[in-house]
Amino acid sequence: MSETVKYETQDGIALISVNNPPVNSLSHPVRSGLAEAFSAADRDTEVEAIVLRCEGRTFIAGADITEFGKPMKAPSLPDVLSLMDSVGKPIVAALHGTALGGGLETALSCHYRIAAPAARVGLPEVRLGLLPGAGGTQRLPRVIGVEKALDMIVSGRQVKAAEALEIGLVDRIAVTDLTEEAIAFARELADSGAAPRRCSEQAVDSGALDAGFFDRYRQATAKRQRGFEAPQACIDAVESATRLPFTEGLEAERELFVKLISSPQSKAQRHLFFADREASNVAGLPKETPIREIGSVGVIGAGTMGAGIAINFLNAGIPVTLLEVQQEALDRGLATIRNYYQDRRKKGRLTAEQADACAALVTGTLDYADFAGVDLVIEAVFESMEIKHQVFKRLDEVCRPGAILATNTSTLNVDEIAAVTGRPEDVVGLHFFSPAQVMRLLEVVRGAKTCDEVLATSMKLAGRIGKVGVVAGVCDGFIGNRMLKGYGREAGTLLLEGASPVQIDKAVHQFGMAMGPIAMSDLAGLDVGYRIRQQRRERGDNIPASEGAVADRLVELGRLGQKSGKGYYRYDAGSRAPIPDPEVDDVIREAAAELGIERSQITDDEIVQRLIYPLVNEAALILEEGIAQRPGDIDVVWVNGYGFPVYRGGPMCYADEIGLPAVLDKIREFQSRYGDIWKPAPLLERLVAENKSFADL
């Protein structure tokens, strides 16, 4: 028998152990090893019952995702699972770690299941743009019922052992030693003459479902998971389980699976799965780089960002000292944090004890001396270099040697901030996204002098507080905000050229962005950009007349966005629903006339190209300059920080899907119309000339 799947027998029980680090995925040697081992156990007349278990940190975590897209080497997983299903002796699966996807499908093809108390099970295929393709959609409804199965399959959520026991997905929870108790379970089954309990022989109980059940489920899911194809296919497959005999249901599932696996959506979601994990690898950072202990954190500024940043650490059980200039601002910040935990409690996300324990970890102060012992300080004060300098000089005086000094600046030069300290190697940018306690992205900005230890510790810390850390170099806007500039510019120009706010937002929403650029501006407040443009004008920067032409007029009319009840749209009191406003159409028309811009119909396709292609072009520059390490990092930034549709995999993945030659052609067309703001990035031109894509970098 192979190294990967070990076969032993003891006292009439066959023990089959999978050993395929790191996560025991079902790669070819595992599949063939399982087929061989189960055939052997079935044949062996001495064997009365069988236990399937795994070595290492987890039970099987699913199919081997790296094998997708390549021809499947026999035996296929469905074939292996059919074989297991048909074995004439009871099989017990011993689950620990995470039994996911094909792993749970394997466990469902065993006849009985026992789980370690900390084990979790789930069918996360939907998150990879897939459905469980090895019988999961047919077996699970037979074991736990249609509604519970749909919930697990369509959401992809993980279920803890206790819940799995409650819903009948596992039979037992081990008390002390999982393997020993699994063997004892198998022995009991053998002694009692229990027959194999095959899913394939169980009926699906759909008696309680009315005729419209699946259609309503489809509609509700389409709303919740807008634009995603896989959840709908999951529902189709489960519905098949209620209509078709087992083997025909398996065929229907297979057909849907094969269609999804070659779909652009699944490719995009699989790309993100790996890009997410790769983001934590920092090129040139030795693996053995020491990590500094972060046991306590200081946050400066308790405004929009500071309070949210603090909550991240409190949630992770790390005490925070929050510093403000004035008692009033401090009280406001502390109240924001208290309200957050009250809300979590009310919504049932945290128990009263958990909420109180988190909230108790924050201390407010007006005195820098209270930072003497902290391991990390994050500054989130006003966006002014002068104030940042004052703050960092104070930090340099009070913080202990080795403390990490971080700035949350979104536009200022991290190196300039670091330069006022005597320890620029300990300074780093930790750029959170608003709302900081919600958005999963953390740009870790590596200054020219930031040392390896500080960078490695920051990346590790990102994971600890549930963020995905992406390393960025120093430049105006780092990765995400730098790319946003062209997006905002084009939205403004499109308005002048004839597209309405509604048309632009609809086209972008249809493309899959969480929100269109115009509604987004209203949410963020038009005065922010206005002030920046005024400052740039005062500095003598050369700003094209069309830039902010509409927004500036709106601000001057007192239309600041949602906060003033009107911006590009108008808002009824207490509502965030945008209502088109003819007054704004007049403003746009006047601005266009003054600038001599002829207005015409613009197609939705052009709107999407004009907004998305600047992201791609700027990203190519960012890659060339080494501001981002790899295209996948840029995709991770845009999906987790800016609401780029997950099923499009991020702007780079999307450009590859369209085809870089087509993207470059369009960019050249826009360049001939609008000049060098559309100048193609040399990297993009080179990739097209070499017939390559971003994925080849």
Q: Which residues bind ligand NAI (CB under 6 A)?
A: 300-306, 323-325, 329, 380-383, 387, 390-391, 408-410, 432-434
- Least distance between ligand NAI and beta carbon 399 (Å): 15
For residue 238 the two structure tokens come to: 């489960």
Q: Which residue, 158 or 409, is less far from ligand 3HC as judged by CB?
A: 158
Confirm whether 125 is a catalytic residue.
Answer: yes
Residue 128 binding result from ligand 3HC, ligand NAI, none, given CB thresholds of 5 to 8 Å by partner type: ligand 3HC
Residue 169 binding result from ligand NAI, ligand 3HC, none, given CB thresholds of 5 to 8 Å by partner type: none
Q: Is 686 helix (H, G, I), strand (E, B) or coil?
A: helix
Q: Which residue, 382 or 674, is less far from ligand NAI as judged by CB?
A: 382
Q: Is 472 helix (H, G, I), strand (E, B) or coil?
A: strand
Q: Which residue, 130 or 468, is less far from ligand 3HC as judged by CB?
A: 130
Centroid of chain to Cα 342: 26
Inter-helix orientation angle 480-497/604-624, to 10°: 150
H/E run at residue 506: helix 501-511
Q: Which residue, 124 or 645, is less far from ligand 3HC as judged by CB?
A: 124
Q: Report the b/e string of 568-581 with b at 16+ CB within 10 A.
A: bbbbeeeeeebeeb
- Least distance between ligand NAI and beta carbon 391 (Å): 5
Order the strands of the 98-100 sheet from edge to edge: 98-100, 120-122, 158-160
Q: Report the number of secondary-structure helices (H) and strands (E) in the chain.
A: 28, 17
| Contacting residues for 489 by C-beta, under 8 A, at least 6 apart | 547, 614, 677
Reference 694, options 635, 647, 638, 648; nearest CA is: 635
Residue 65 binding result from ligand 3HC, ligand NAI, none, given CB thresholds of 5 to 8 Å by partner type: ligand 3HC
User: Tokens 């922010």 identify what position?
Assistant: 528
| Contacting residues for 612 by C-beta, under 8 A, at least 6 apart | 487, 511, 651, 654
Question: Which residues lie across from 320 on neighbouring strands?
Answer: 297, 362
DSSP states along 118-158: T-EEE-GGGGGT---TTTHHHHHHHHH-HHHHHHHHHH--E
- Least distance between ligand NAI and beta carbon 299 (Å): 10
For residue 401 the two structure tokens come to: 């040697």
- Least distance between ligand 3HC and beta carbon 41 (Å): 23
Q: Which residue, 280 or 365, is less far from ligand 3HC as judged by CB?
A: 280
Residue 132 binding result from ligand 3HC, ligand NAI, none, given CB thresholds of 5 to 8 Å by partner type: ligand 3HC
Taking the C-alpha atoms of residue 217 and residue 412, their distance in angstroms, rounded to an integer, is 48
Active-site residue, selected from the candidate residues 48, 105, 379, 490: 105
Residue 133 binding result from ligand NAI, ligand 3HC, none, given CB thresholds of 5 to 8 Å by partner type: ligand 3HC
Q: Which residue, 124 or 680, is less far from ligand 3HC as judged by CB?
A: 124
Centroid of chain to Cα 363: 31
- Least distance between ligand NAI and beta carbon 696 (Å): 33
Centroid of chain to Cα 93: 31
Residues that bind ligand 3HC (CB under 6 A): 22-23, 25, 58, 61-66, 77, 98, 100-102, 105, 124-125, 128, 130, 132-134, 136, 277
- Assign residue 20 a region: left if phi > 0, alpha if psi is -120 to 50, beta otherwise? beta
Residue 491 binding result from ligand 3HC, ligand NAI, none, given CB thresholds of 5 to 8 Å by partner type: none
Residue 77 binding result from ligand 3HC, ligand NAI, none, given CB thresholds of 5 to 8 Å by partner type: ligand 3HC
- Least distance between ligand 3HC and beta carbon 568 (Å): 41
- Least distance between ligand 3HC and beta carbon 21 (Å): 9
- Least distance between ligand 3HC and beta carbon 178 (Å): 18
Residue 381 binding result from ligand NAI, ligand 3HC, none, given CB thresholds of 5 to 8 Å by partner type: ligand NAI
Q: Which residue, 105 or 635, is less far from ligand 3HC as judged by CB?
A: 105
Q: Which residue, 161 or 688, is less far from ligand 3HC as judged by CB?
A: 161
Confirm whether 105 is a catalytic residue.
Answer: yes
Taking the C-alpha atoms of residue 161 and residue 122, their distance in angstroms, rounded to an integer, is 11
What dihedral angle (degrees, nearest 10) is formed by the CA atoms of 114, 115, 117, 118?
Answer: 180
Question: Which residues lie across from 405 on neighbouring strands?
Answer: 377, 427
- Least distance between ligand NAI and beta carbon 293 (Å): 26
Residue 384 binding result from ligand NAI, ligand 3HC, none, given CB thresholds of 5 to 8 Å by partner type: none
Q: In this structure, how many other beta carbons lie within 10 angstroms of the beta carbon of residue 197?
A: 15
C-alpha distance from residue 137 to each of 125, 152, 192, 237, 674 (Å): 11, 10, 31, 6, 52
Q: Which residue, 65 or 357, is less far from ligand 3HC as judged by CB?
A: 65
Active-site residue, selected from the candidate residues 48, 125, 239, 443: 125
Q: Cβ distance 333 to 327 under 8 Å?
A: no
- Give the residue numbers marked as catalytic: 105, 125
